[in-house]
Amino acid sequence: MLPGPTNVPDRIRYAMIKAMVNHRSETFTRTLRSVTEKSRALFQTEGDPLVLTSSGSGGVEAAVWNIVRPGDKVIVLVSGEFGARLAETVELAGGEVTRVSSEPGTVPSIESVEEAVRKAQGVKSVFVVHNETSGGTAVPYIERLASLAADVGAFFVVDAISSLGGYALPVDRWGIDICVTGSQKCLAAPPGLALLSVSRKATDLIRKNPPRVRYFDLGRQMDFLTHGETPFTPAVSLYYALEEALSWLVEEGLENRVQRHALHARQLYSMLDAMDLKPLADPKVRSNTVIAAWYPQGVDDKVFRKKLSDEQDIVVGAGVGSLKGKVFRIGSMGDVSSTHVNRTASAMSLTFQKMGYSVDWNRVAAALAA
């Protein structure tokens, strides 16, 4: 029950045992084209999404270096660890960053972003982490941000690594220039691949003013994709897994998957309430894919997570950055089901009891059944 990597269903794991093939062969070309076609349903785009052999963070770095040029004025929303990393990456690319920040468990108001855009004057791009994995918050006004960026002629880039598939982000309809996600989150595939959608507007920039990178040059990726290839050696077995994961997404339907994630998130928040545990995130911006909660007084983080793992076979995430040791994080994404939720509730209740924190089992059971 981590915020990634998530559980990988057997059908996706078994896809990786296919024989290795030449990545310049017609066989791999068919796989790549299948992945491209099916990933359109994920991004809700008519374009050709790109797949990079990298972590999701690599995909974000690619987005930054392909959009940002030295001296560009860039607005970055920061509501946690990953927003902070994004801002630092933009600065490494030479961007002049204005951070619009908020406390952990909250997100910046849309009004504060609008004010920052007005004051900056000449903003070239707006970057946001849709779902802040460190704090379990989700920005609820992505479409409005896209419109705000478009109104000033800026590019709009979304890090949706821990949300796309658990949420719907229709990139074409909303006007998202680059959207990035990772294979190991809501897609329930193994880690190691980043997926990106790129708008025509962003493509024009990349073509006319290529980035000063080689491996993460998205224009090069587009050129090779035209011929059904990748510019560099891909993780072939992971592409097999991704193809199967996307097939499952298409079969389930994006809308149904989003509803499933929302349902199990509600169950987990109800479980926490029944245990008198307080979620970190404000109720208005709570994530449906990452649930972060404060520890009860006197419960040691490392001891709790070790006992939960060793004795109950349930793994949850630790807090990161300034929240380390103060909160734990539950991943509710990918293959998540009522079985996962019930097992987690039972295991956490038992572990807290053993550590001296009283839990009303009847309240927990009633919350899960509601």
pLDDT digits (tens, 9 = 90+) for 271-306: 999 999 999 999 999 999 999 999 999 999 999 999
CB within 8 A of 177, min separation 6: which ones?
67, 125, 149, 155, 156, 157, 198, 199, 201, 202
Q: Give the three-state DSSP class for 355.
A: coil
Q: What is the mean pLDDT of residues 211-233?
A: 98
Q: Distance between CA 70 and CA 161 in Å, rounded? A: 26
Q: Does the pLDDT of residue 370 top 90, yes or no?
A: no
149, pLDDT greater than 90: yes
pLDDT at 264 (0 to 100): 97
Looking at every residue in the chain, the average pLDDT score rounds to: 97
Pure H helices in the chain: 10-15, 26-43, 56-67, 81-92, 110-120, 142-151, 171-174, 200-208, 218-226, 236-252, 254-274, 301-312, 338-354, 361-369
Q: Is the pLDDT at 11 greater than 80, yes or no?
A: yes
Whole-angstrom CA distances from 79 to 5, 167, 293, 317, 342 are 22, 19, 16, 18, 30
pLDDT value of residue 368: 85
Does residue 20 surpass a pLDDT of 80?
yes
Where, residue-wise, is CATH 3.90.1150.10 in the chain? 254-369
Dist CA 142 CA 132 (whole Å)? 13
Q: Rounded CA gap, 183 and 186, in Å?
A: 8
Distance CA 28, CA 364 (A): 49
Mean pLDDT across 44-73: 98
Instruction: Write out the residue limits of the CATH 3.40.640.10 domain(s) in the chain.
Output: 10-252
Residue 128 DSSP symbol: E
Average pLDDT, stretch 73-90?
A: 98
pLDDT, mean of residues 328-347: 96
State the pLDDT at residue 369.
84
Query: Is domain 254-369 classified as CATH 1.20.1250.20?
Result: no
Q: What is the CATH number of domain 10-252?
A: 3.40.640.10
pTM equals 0.97
Distance separating alpha carbons of residues 307 and 305, to the nearest angstrom: 6
Mean pLDDT, residues 326-339 taken together? 97
